[in-house]
Structure 1
Amino acid sequence: MASRSGRRGWSGKPAARATTAMTAPADAPISGVVLAGGLSTRFGSDKAAAEIGGVSLLERAVRLLESVLDDVWVSVRPDQASDALRSRYRCLLDRHPGQGPAAGLEAAHASAPGHAWLALACDQPSLSAAELERLVAERDPKAAATACCDPSTGVLQPLCAIYEPATLAGLAKETARGTGPSPRGYLESRPLKLIPMHITNINSPDDLRKYQRSGATTL
């Protein structure tokens, strides 16, 4: 099933009118990007294609973002844009492959510099629409980012976060140089609005099996 966010396999710029009803008019509009350009080294195969309940992790993440935002994209490496899984969605191509999630964020910012971007890794199946709605509703545009954190440890979750335009501009410059920090490293030295949430990450086949056995089916 193709994403409702646009044409199959199309790579271009988000529509400038894209907003969310939960965003104040004075704030930058929010677009969404699923980061799906990783090498899946620890997983051993394409993690985005792994399934829970017959639905790929990528499809789950796209559906989740589409439940709270009108303008949703998938960040991919150039060599992935035509594969059977990713070509179903509107794709943003990494312009600096090898820079990890930062490359996806840079591509998103380059496509719409005036937008804030809700960035979501595709390997967080425990997230619910209600939790993302809370993240958007509690967004602080004056912070560098509004991000999830672990409720027990306070550890930042940089791949479930709304990045403000100025933050992305700075990260993009460093990413383009090829020496930029990770999104976590970049955010940790900046003022953040943190939202405590329990997030389960799927990093290995064993993590996937455990999640499948748990019976959790959050979307």
Structure 2
Amino acid sequence: MTDSPILGAVLAGGRSSRFGSDKAMACMGDGRTLLDHAVAGLVPHVARVVICGRPGGLPDRPAPDMGPLGGLNAALHHALAHGFGGVLTTGCDMPVYPASLPAALVGPEAAILKGQQLLGWWPATLAPDLDAHLAADNVRSIYGWIDRIGARVVEMPGLVLPNINRPEDLRIFTPRFPE
């Protein structure tokens, strides 16, 4: 782990095109939204949680509608400016955050969970590098960023996490939360 405080960031700036409406505000069977669940998953592991890419949260950086990298860039700059050592991220469509994940991710270099690139650890010192990446002529894919910085890929065999991209994904997962 790190000696500096850790910032948690929920990347919530997507357009929810596959979902058909604002999936961050979709309610689970327990009456809480997907966004509420994402925040609650990070809270035990971080000093503070920010929401990126939504009104009232950190705006994407350097411009709106940058996808997950715009939210991550905003979080990295916020972390750097406020004395956080790095950022643990999750997506607003990830209602489960495993308690064992931070210990596996946090280290001297960036790391992601295999198959879930939004579940990651990003040292705050990467902020200028992400600025340069976003300024370059590229696809702005999170995969391109991960490759560029050589992020460590963490495997957790047997771990299956729900990712809510469509209304049917929410219907399948919701029974786990009784009314």
What's the CA shift string for 1:37-73, capped at 9, x where partnerless? 1111111100001011211000111111112212111
Q: How does 1:179-198 map to 2 (within 5 A)?
A: 179=138, 181-189=140-148, 190-196=150-156, 197-198=159-160
Q: Does 1:73 align with 2:38?
A: no
Change (3 A) 1:157 1:188: farther
Distance 2:151 2:22 in 1: 34
Report what 1:31 is aligned to. Answer: 7
Report what 1:108 is aligned to. Answer: 75
**Identity over aligned residues, as a percent?**
34
Report what 1:208 is aligned to. Answer: 170
In the TM superposition, what is the alpha-carbon distance from 1:211 to its structure 2 partner? Answer: 1.5
Q: How many residues align?
A: 170
Q: Does 1:122 align with 2:100?
A: no
Report what 2:19 is aligned to. Answer: 43
In the TM superposition, what is the alpha-carbon distance from 1:178 to its structure 2 partner? Answer: 6.6
Report what 1:147 is aligned to. Answer: 112
Alignment RMSD (CA, Å): 2.3
Change (3 A) 1:40 1:31: same
Mean Cα displacement is larger for which, 187-196 or 32-41?
Answer: 187-196
In the TM superposition, what is the alpha-carbon distance from 1:176 to its structure 2 partner? Answer: 4.1
Distance 1:44 1:172 in 2: 31
Distance 1:75 1:38 in 2: 10
Amino acid at match of 1:135: L
Whether the 8 Å contact between 1:171 and 1:180 is mirrored in structure 2 is: no
Equivalent position to 2:122, from 150, 163, 170: 163
What's the CA shift string for 1:67-107, capped at 9, x where partnerless? 22121110124xx33xxxxxxxxx21113112101000111
Greater RCO between the two (CA within 8 Å, min separation 6)? 2
What's the CA shift string for 1:126-183, capped at 9, x where partnerless? x24xx2x32222335233x22212xxxxxx3211111123444322322245745322
Change (3 A) 1:169 1:29: farther
Distance 2:123 2:2 in 1: 14
SS at match of 1:33: strand
Structure with the larger helix share? 2
Distance 1:110 1:24 in 2: 18
Q: How does 1:166-177 map to 2 (within 5 A)?
A: 166-177=125-136
